[in-house]
Structure 1
Amino acid sequence: MKREIMLSFTVGSGPALEATAYADFDTGQVVYRIADIGAFTLGWDPDRNPEADQDPKEEILHVAYGTGPFGFQMDEAPVLFGVTLAGTESFTRATLTAGTLRLRPYRLIISSPVRVAKGTARRAFAIVSALARHWLAQPWAPDLRRAHEHDCAPRSLSRYGGLITQHEERMRRVREDHAYYIQRADRATAILQAGPVPAPAGAPPHPFPPADASTKTTGR
């Protein structure tokens, strides 16, 4: 299900920017299409899935410059100062809240990715900051987060399933080692409880005489 919202906002002293927001509850992403600029896709980092009990300040957010499958060159890529932005970036919610968010998008020059100029980057992260603040302040943002979790659940299940298998194997080896060490400890305990081994009749003498006998011999 997709919902559309119209909004107008300003960045710095520039003219108002007109945008249309689309909340995609299939993937947990929100797309902002800004007139005469292009689209920004915002959401949670797909490689760092937020947990249900995670502190929102620790969330890793994600912006893609354009729409469609994440990649370097995306559809509807935004254009700032004549430069087409490319790629995706991640940032923490804490930097967004503190106003310290800094981004440095890429651009494509002769098939080679390079960072955009600092002025273009400042404009980009100012826009992304405004859009992200708007998105996270919406009453439907928590539902969008759950939609993201649902979309990521198959990958999460596969990942955690693999980790569970790894830990089960480690635990099996630990249990085997534990049982072996208990067996050896029990054997050592039984040996101690049996007491010292007396020399049987006919055995050769001890290579070293008792301490008291040695003392008497030395005193002669």
Structure 2
Amino acid sequence: MLTFTVGSGPALRVTEFADFDTGQAVYRVTDIGAFTLGWDPDHHPEANQNPMQEILQVAYGTGPVGFQMDEAPTLFGTPLAGAESFTRASLEADNLRLRPYRLIINAPVRVPKGTALRASAIVSALARHWLAQPWTPELRRAHEHHCAPRSLSRYGGLIAQHEERMRQLREDHAYYVQRADRATAILQAGPVPAPAGAPPHPFTTQDTSSGTAGR
């Protein structure tokens, strides 16, 4: 069991777990509840990404992420709900400011400021410990593996959309090239002379030297 001293509050007794099926770390805090730490599933870490650009996530409880999770932590008598994302840069800069929710008649409402500050301090301490562990890079790989089916489905859909867009662009391109070639051929043929018997040009100067008709 681990012990954390966070601010002026009592020491926290914590048990740490690593879920390599989902790529998440679970910290069960005695008399408070569980915090699940990992990477934001909507912002997958890239292979060569600067660690400071990673988007991390804390879920208040265990199990499927939502507003009603198992083992939801309670601070100052307020059960925390939901999940929040934060940057690793804000964590390293000691500037983590979380705003957890609580449920009031099944409606999510932000917790009071004091509760939010205490939650931020606890999550900051737990997240720093988690990221410093030698097994964390492998946990990140486990996260990527867990998210891979969803990523494949998402990117497959985007690829199909872009292929359809490129097909339409190729058709449009071929049409415009055809019209441009047509316009070029017309220009190269030169001006069109008026054939014999055609009416006069409307702006041709008329010869009035023989007098004016009707005089």
TM-score (norm 1): 0.89
2:56 is equivalent to residue 61 of structure 1: yes
Partner of 1:179: 174
Matched residues, percent identical? Answer: 80
CA distance in 2, matches of 1:167, 1:183: 24
Note the aligned Cα RMSD (angstroms).
1.8
| 200-209 or 85-94: bigger deviation | 200-209
Give the C-alpha shift of residue 53 in structure 1. 3.0
CA distance in 2, matches of 1:178, 1:53: 37
Q: Once the two structures are superposed, what CA deviation does each residue of 1:39-81 show, in whole Å capped at 9, x if it has no partner?
A: 1000011222222233222221111111111111111111212
2:65 to 66, 70, 73: 70
Give the C-alpha shift of residue 205 in structure 1. 1.9
2:103 to 99, 108, 111: 108
Partner of 1:140: 135
CA distance in 2, matches of 1:14, 1:146: 35
Structure 2: give runs of 5+ residues left out of the alignment.
Answer: 210-215
CA distance in 2, matches of 1:191, 1:42: 69
CA distance in 2, matches of 1:87, 1:42: 13
Partner of 1:49: 44
Aligned residue-pair number: 209
Partner of 2:116: 121
| 176-185 or 51-60: bigger deviation | 51-60
Give the C-alpha shift of residue 85 in structure 1. 1.3
Relative to 1, partners in 2 of residues 1:142 and 1:199: Cα closer, same or farther, differing over 3 Å?
A: same
Q: Once the two structures are superposed, what CA deviation does each residue of 1:57-112 show, in whole Å capped at 9, x if it has no partner?
A: 22211111111111111111112122221111111112111111111112223433
CA distance in 2, matches of 1:113, 1:194: 74
Structure 1: give runs of 5+ residues left out of the alignment.
Answer: 1-5
Relative to 1, partners in 2 of residues 1:192 and 1:112: Cα closer, same or farther, differing over 3 Å?
A: closer
Give the C-alpha shift of residue 38 in structure 1. 1.1
In structure 2, what residue type is equivalent to 1:24?
A: D
